[in-house]
Each structure stands twice: as structure tokens, then as C-alpha cells.
Amino acid sequence: MLKPRTLRTRLRQEGFLLVLLVPALVYFSVYHLAPMAGMTLAFQDFRIVGPSKFVGLKHFRILFSSPAFFDVLRNTLIISSMKIILFFPLPLLFALMVNELRSVLLRKFVQATAYLPHFLSWVVIAGVWISFLSPSSGGANQARGLVGLPPVDYMTSKTAIRWVLFASETWRSLGWDSIIYLAALMRINPSLYESADMDGAGALQKAWYITIPELAPTMITVLILNMGFFMSAGFDQVFNMMNDSVISAVDILDTYIYRIGLLNMQYSFSTAANLFKGAIGLVLILGTHSAAKRVTGKGLW
Amino acid sequence: MARLRLKGKPSSVADRLFRAAIALALLAISLVVIVPLLNLLALSLSDPGRVGEVTGLTVLPKGFSTVNYRVLAANPLFVRSIINALIITIVGTAINLLVTSMAAFALTRERLPGRRFFMLLVIVIMVFEPGLIPEYLVIKKIGLMNSLWSVILYKAVNVYYLIILMRFFEEVPTSLIEAARIDGAGYGTIFLKIMLPLAKPAIATLGLFYGVFHWNEYFRASIYLSDPDKYPLQLILRQFVVLDDTASLIGSGALFSYDEAARLDYGALKASTIIVAMLPVLIIYPLILKYYTKGVMEGGVKE
């Protein structure tokens, strides 16, 4: 039994817990809470000296009446659709394929190589891809040459660049994003497959009637979490792969917010654009969640 | 493990063909990942006179020369950027692990005063991203501009990692902690002598992830640091390779001190820079595979 504690020992003991929490609280204050308070800038005109003036929705009105904004919004939605919706089944497919490998050595090799790009920075990946896609010396165009196709300058082509974003995202995330499915596959009860075998089910039937339904909750979780990134579309990737020739095809909300904010120093306008982005992102994640809940009866929370 | 084949039943020809096709497709995916990386390594190590023979699909160097790496090693800005990146990574990761584990321990103690409030705070921080400009203005206001600390302290606590560690601490049996308390141990002893040793694998994994994050960081450095002497490697890499700004790297370096320099190939020099920027990640990658993937798979089996 613990002895009943006096107020002094309580303060001394629980006070220590607060001390442990202090460094984290200081960090949260500087990098999260103070900036959150600073978001009110979206409703003000920023001034370097003296208090900023409250201007209501002025910056949002400018935002919604600017054609440039709708261009970047369209780019964001297109690129996100490719990188989230079009990409969505690929890691699942990859996991199902890896799961069929019998050789442990081959399995380890495939996994070790496929997970690696996830740990490379987008600066490195951009460097690798720019070199690989080079029209004169890149591997991609040399492979095209082998089958008699003319070289393509992918990085400066407005039609190709979005597919470069899709392909490099797949290159980076295909393996890593399959881990969650591989773990879920291991949790499926083997007796389900055994009884299906006894009923004479084929491989495709087993995949359709056992594997896919068993993986559905994982798929829904992944989808909901990814919807949270829909309005972001991957700043680091686009920032490192864009250039002047293709900017009109790949300029997304985040690169636009960066440019008007830090390069043009329109602090209030940039903050307003960011606030709009955050609000839509929140609506998207809540919307996907409630839709998933209605369809399957299960959600994340 | 879930297998689609009946035990003991010999696989049919169609079945075997199907499997062989899958194995080939997966090998092709592996090649698509590693050939571009090996190609850059080959380019960086090739003899400068034979660089022209290196095609985009070459995976072994033509001849052998370390001239590109020697040129980089002789460049003060490049060497400085590696040192900066190492400082940011090592100090940053140490702070990450210290602050995250202390907070995770405090937040999982039921007697923590104001626990519900702090948990709410964590969730609010997870959901609301204040964005670039407000953060930039705060950093400016508190005088961290052009200081390595602005980059070191960025993401000092990753809220997702905090929650992972909290789950880990919650799983420690209460009987163990109660026994220690009866023996007179305070929170400090429980944290240092029981929780940290038990959570070692989790903390090691988080350390690897935090470390990779710091090493790869370039964006905060690009907006907070104005002095090129303070740039980390990834930022130099971005300038040199992505933005193709050769002047900033070469202008400040003793680039032409080598006889071979006249024959130097910029493509090969860029390839070497990329390889150096990947190297620390490649070195710790086996550890990541060992700790993380194993953890995920075993966690999967346990449930």
C-alpha cells in the first residue's frame, strides 16, 4: 500500500512531471501555438512597425477574384488526384505480389530495394530523376532509343511533367506504402484460405472473397489519412522538380503560398491562402471519414 | 502466413508460371529503383577521360577515378555544408529523443496535473498546421534567424512519434511500476531505470527516423539561414544539382587546384554530390530495415 501523501510530497512528485513536459511545451509554443495565433494575419494588413490593421475578408476577396489562384487550385486538384487516387491501388497490388513470393531471399531483396527511396530527400530524388530523364544522356531516353523511339525532354514538357510527378511519387512510395498492407495480410486467419480450398475456390476467387474484404479496413484508413494531404499535393516534390518551362502546369497551392509570401512578402495574402487551404483540407478529411463510416460502419474515430 | 496454395498439393504449371511472372515483375521494379542510383555511382567513379562512355543505363564505372570526390573534398563550402548537416542531425536528434521521451512519459502518468488539457493541446497541434508565414514571423521575432538553432529545433517533437512512444509507455505493466514505487522509487527513477530501458527499441527506431529527417531537411534551412557558411549539404545539393547553379559552389572553392580539373565533367561532379548526400542514409538503412520493418511485422502478428 502507498502511504497517504502530503501536499508537499504531491507537489514535489507531480511537479517533476510538469518539469519533464516543459521543453515540449516551449517547442509547441514557438513552432505551433504562436504561429497559430499569427494566423489572424489573414484578416489584417501586415505592418512591420506598429499594430496591423483589421481588414476582415479583404485578402480572401482578392484571392477568390484572382485567376492565378484558380490555376494553382486546378493544378493542386489534378496532381493530388493522380498522386492519391490513381496511386492508391498500386501499393496494395505490390503487397499482394510480394506476398506471393516463395523465396525468402528474393522477398528480402525486393523489399529492401523498394523501401529505400522513401528515405531519400526530394532534393536527392529530383537530382536522380533529372539525370535519369535527361534527353541526351538519361537512362529513360536511352531505353526509348533501344526500341526506336525519339527522345523526350520530360522535365520541360508541360504535358509530361505531371506524369513525372506521378512516376517519381510512385518510385518513392510504392514499396513503403505497401508495408501497411503486408502487415495486414499477415493478420488474415489462414483457416479462411484452407476452408476456401476445400470448397474448391481458385486463386482469384480467394483474392476477391477473402483477401480484399479482409484488407478493406486498412484501405479505408489509408484513404482517409491521404485525403488529409489532398490540398498539399506534395510541396517538396513539386518545389524541387518544377522549372520555368513547366511552372504553369505544376504550380500548386503550397508553391504559390511560398512565392507570394516569402518572395513577394505579401504576408497577409499568403496567410489567407494558407488558411483557405487548411480549411478545405479539414473538410475533405472529415467528409471522407463520414462517407467511409456510412458505407462500412467503421471509421477512424 | 497467408498463402494461396494448398499444403502438400503440387502446384500446377499455370500456378508456377503465374508465380514466375510475379517474381519477374517485382525484380523489374527493383531494377527501376536501383539502376538510376547505381548509374550515378558509376558516373561519379568513372575515369574523367572515359565519362563519355557512361550511358544512362551503365551501372559499373568506366575506368576508375576518385577525382570528383577529391574536388568536392577540396571545396570549403561543400565540406562546411557536411559539417553543418552533421551538427543539425546529431544535436537535433539528441534533442528530439530527449524532449519526446520526457513528454511521452509525463503525458502517460495518470497523476499529471492538467493531463486532459495537455492531451487536447497535442491533438490541436496535430490537426492545425499554421503554415509558413506565421511560423517565419515568429522565428524572426524571437531572433533565431540565420541561426542553426532555427533548423535544429524545427520538429523538436513530431506529434505522431510522440503518440507512438506514449502507446509504448502505456504498455509497460503497471505492476512493474507499482513495485518500484513501493521500493521508494520516484518518477525520475521510474523514467530512467524502467521506462527508458524497456522502450529502447522504440526509441532507437524513432532516433533513426528523426535522424533521416534532419539529414534530409533543406527547406527550413533555405528560408531561415542567409549565410552560405551555415547551409547544410541538402541545400548546397539543391543549388548545384536542381537549380544548376555551378557558380556558387565553384566560385568559392579551390576547384582548379587539380591537374585533372581541366577534364572535369559537371554531370559526374553532380552525381558525386548526390551520392555524398545519400551516403549517411544508405549507411543506417540496414538498421532501419532491422528495427522498423521487424517491429511492424511483429506488431502485426501480436494483434
Residues of A in contact with B187 (CB under 8 A): 13, 16-17, 20
Q: What is the ipTM of this complex?
A: 0.90
Over pLDDT 90: what percentage of chain A?
A: 72
Q: How far apart are alpha carbons B168 and B161 in whole angstroms?
A: 11
CB contact under 8 A, B127 and A282: yes
- What is the mean pLDDT of the segment spanning A174-198? 92
CB contact under 8 A, B106 and A20: yes
CB contact under 8 A, B56 and A134: yes
Q: How far apart are alpha carbons B4 and A197 in whole angstroms?
A: 9
pLDDT the model gives residue B11: 64
Amino acid making up residue A139: G
Q: Is residue A195 part of a domain?
A: yes
Residue with the bigger pLDDT between A63 and A228: it is A63
Closest partner residue to A120 (CB to CB) among B186, B281, B299 is B281
Q: How far apart are alpha carbons A72 and A274 in whole angstroms?
A: 13
For chains A and B, what is the number of CB pairs under 8 angstroms?
273
- What is the mean pLDDT of the segment spanning A169-174? 97
Question: Is A244 a residue whose pLDDT tops 80?
Answer: yes
Please report, for the domain that includes residue A258, its CATH number.
1.10.3720.10
Amino acid making up residue B4: L
Q: Does B270 touch chain A (CB under 8 A)?
A: yes
Q: How far apart are alpha carbons B216 and B125 in whole angstroms?
A: 23
Q: Is residue A93 part of a domain?
A: yes
B149, B214, B109, B118: which is closest to A22 by C-alpha? Answer: B118
Average pLDDT, chain A: 91
Q: Is residue A275 part of a domain?
A: yes
Residues in B 47-66 with any Cβ partner in A closer than 8 A = 54-57
Q: Does A153 touch chain B (CB under 8 A)?
A: no
**Distance of residue A67 Cα from the nearest chain B Cα, in angstroms:** 22
Number of domains in chain A: 1
pLDDT the model gives residue B37: 97
Q: Does A266 touch chain B (CB under 8 A)?
A: no
Q: Are A101 and B25 in contact (CB under 8 A)?
A: no
Question: How many CB atoms lie under 10 A from the CB of residue A139?
Answer: 20
Q: Is residue A165 part of a domain?
A: no
Q: How far apart are alpha carbons A242 and A236 in whole angstroms?
A: 10
Q: Does B143 touch chain A (CB under 8 A)?
A: no
A150-162 pLDDT, tens digit per residue, is: 999 999 999 999 9
**Distance of residue B35 Cα from the nearest chain A Cα, in angstroms:** 9
pLDDT the model gives residue B7: 44
pLDDT the model gives residue A218: 92
Residues of A in contact with B215 (CB under 8 A): 121
Question: Is A290 a residue whose pLDDT tops 50?
Answer: yes
Q: Does A98 touch chain B (CB under 8 A)?
A: yes
Residues of chain B with pLDDT under 50: 1-8, 254, 256, 299-303
Closest partner residue to B29 (CB to CB) among A16, A101, A114 is A114
Residues of A in contact with B278 (CB under 8 A): 120, 124
pLDDT the model gives residue B52: 87
Question: Is A60 a residue whose pLDDT tops 70?
Answer: yes
Residue with the bigger pLDDT between A4 and B172: it is B172
Q: Does B287 touch chain A (CB under 8 A)?
A: no
**Distance of residue A294 Cα from the nearest chain B Cα, in angstroms:** 23
Long-range contacts of B44-51 (CB under 8 A, 24+ apart): B44/B68, B44/B69, B44/B268, B44/B271, B44/B272, B44/B275, B46/B268, B48/B260, B48/B263, B48/B264, B48/B265, B48/B268, B49/B263, B51/B265, B51/B267, B51/B268
Question: Any bridge partners for residue A44, and if so which?
Answer: A54
- Domain residues for A241? 57-117+173-296
B20-79 pLDDT, tens digit per residue, is: 999 999 999 999 999 999 999 999 999 988 988 998 889 999 999 999 999 899 889 999
Residues of A in contact with B213 (CB under 8 A): none
Question: Is A24 a residue whose pLDDT tops 90?
Answer: yes
Residues in B 210-249 with any Cβ partner in A closer than 8 A = 212, 215-219, 223, 234, 237-238, 241-242
Three-state helix/strand/coil letters over chain A: CCCCCCHHHHHHHHHHHHHHHHHHHHHHHHHHHHHHHHHHHHHEECCCCCCCEECCCHHHHHHHCCHHHHHHHHHHHHHHHHHHHHCCHHHHHHHHHHHCCCCHHHHHHHHHHHHHHHHCCHHHHHHHHHHHCCCCCCHHHHHHHHCCCCCCCHHHCCCCHHHHHHHHHHHHHHHHHHHHHHHHHHHCCHHHHHHHHHCCCCHHHHHHHHHHHHHHHHHHHHHHHHHCCCCCCCHHHHHHHCCCCCHHHHCCHHHHHHHHHHHCCCHHHHHHHHHHHHHHHHHHHHHHHHHHHHHHCCCCC
Q: How far apart are alpha carbons A170 and A114 in whole angstroms?
A: 10
Q: Are A280 and A231 in contact (CB under 8 A)?
A: yes
CB contact under 8 A, A23 and B4: no
Q: Is residue A68 part of a domain?
A: yes
Q: Does A38 touch chain B (CB under 8 A)?
A: yes
Q: Cα separations (Å) of B237 from A239, A247, B103, B241, B278? A: 14, 21, 35, 6, 11
Nearest CA in chain B to A186: B1
Q: Cα separations (Å) of A274 from A267, A278, A288, B219? A: 11, 6, 21, 17
Q: How far apart are alpha carbons A29 and A35 in whole angstroms?
A: 8
Residues of B in contact with A282 (CB under 8 A): 127
Residues of A in contact with B105 (CB under 8 A): 17, 20
Q: Does B120 touch chain A (CB under 8 A)?
A: no
CATH 1.10.3720.10 is the classification of domain B68-302 = yes
**Distance of residue A84 Cα from the nearest chain B Cα, in angstroms:** 20
CB contact under 8 A, A14 and B102: no
